[in-house]
């Protein structure tokens, strides 16, 4: 099965809002969602496993991949498809050793040095890189300023790994971001804050060139 990261939603209970996480994902799935990352820095492990289990049931049979942010143990306990690790999370080689080969690992890498280091890892250590913020964003309080499209394109071209861009992507600018060579666009607000998450997800995919750059997993 190809790993399709093109429409990648990052979501947690706070972002689910009144509609809720499950209903948001269900709607986004109708619009072509391909991946979900559950991110919640406040929930207990037990709460995360329970919520991830509910997401798994919603996603069953859709082909949409489920990632857990940061917590590999939660991802494994919940039977998620993978984990997304930041630079201050578990080391990806240690994570790969714990999780085994049939598990997806994403890594945030937003500088040339981080991307060079990630690209030099043994094949099969990391499945994709997350690059951002693409544009200025207010969703993540401590995010640095946006890289801009030229820098994102340069970073993408520096690795054979598929890259997912995140940060400040909106209905207005999404189409322009595909020109950078990204394999996927990750968003929080564009889908969670939309009146119609299905339409927002479809909008995210406008401008995607076919075939998307992705690895068979």
Residues that bind its own copies (CB under 8 A): 44-47, 49, 70-74, 76-77, 87-91, 94-95, 98
β-pair type (82-85, 184-187): unpaired
Q: How far is the CB of 71 from its own copies (least distance, A)?
A: 6
Q: How far is the CB of 21 from its own copies (least distance, A)?
A: 19
Beta carbon nearer to its own copies, 95 or 204: 95
Residue 106 forms beta bridges with which residues?
84, 128
Residue 173: CA atoms inside 13 Å, Cβ hemisphere, count?
Answer: 18
Straight-line distance from the first to the last Cα atom of the chain, in angstroms, rounded to the nearest whole number: 6
Beta carbon nearer to its own copies, 86 or 181: 86
Please state, in angstroms and rounded to a whole number, the distance separating the CA atoms of residues 189 and 168.
9
Q: How far is the CB of 91 from its own copies (least distance, A)?
A: 7
Query: 3-state DSSP call for residue 174?
Result: helix
Beta carbon nearer to its own copies, 26 or 89: 89
Beta carbon nearer to its own copies, 28 or 66: 66
Q: How far is the CB of 206 from its own copies (least distance, A)?
A: 37
Beta carbon nearer to its own copies, 87 or 119: 87
Q: How far is the CB of 56 from its own copies (least distance, A)?
A: 14
Query: DSSP secondary structure string, 55-110?
Result: HHHHHTTT--EEEEES-HHHHHHHT-SEEEE-TTSS-HHHHHHHH-SSSEEEEE--
């Amino acid at each position: 099965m190809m790993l399709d990261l093109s429409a990648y939603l990052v979501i947690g209970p706070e972002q689910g809002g009144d509609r809720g996480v499950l209903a948001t994902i269900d709607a986004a799935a109708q619009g072509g969602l391909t991946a979900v990352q559950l991110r919640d820095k406040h929930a207990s492990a037990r709460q995360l496993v329970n919520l991830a289990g509910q997401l798994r049931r919603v996603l069953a049979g859709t082909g949409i991949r489920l990632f857990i942010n940061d917590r590999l143990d939660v991802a494994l306990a919940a039977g998620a498809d993978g984990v997304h690790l930041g630079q201050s999370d578990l080391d990806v080689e240690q994570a790969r050793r714990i999780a085994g080969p049939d598990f997806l690992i994403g890594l945030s890498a937003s500088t040339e040095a981080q991307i060079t280091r990630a690209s030099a890892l043994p094949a099969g250590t990391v499945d994709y890189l997350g690059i951002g913020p693409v544009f200025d964003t207010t969703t993540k309080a401590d995010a640095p300023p946006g890289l801009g499209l030229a820098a994102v394109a340069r970073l993408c071209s520096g690795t054979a790994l598929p890259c997912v861009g995140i940060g400040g992507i909106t209905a207005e600018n999404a189409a322009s971001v595909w020109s950078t060579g990204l394999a996927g666009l990750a968003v929080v607000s564009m889908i969670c804050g939309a009146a119609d998450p299905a339409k927002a997800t479809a909008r995210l995919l406008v401008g995607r060139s076919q075939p998307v750059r992705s690895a068979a997993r």
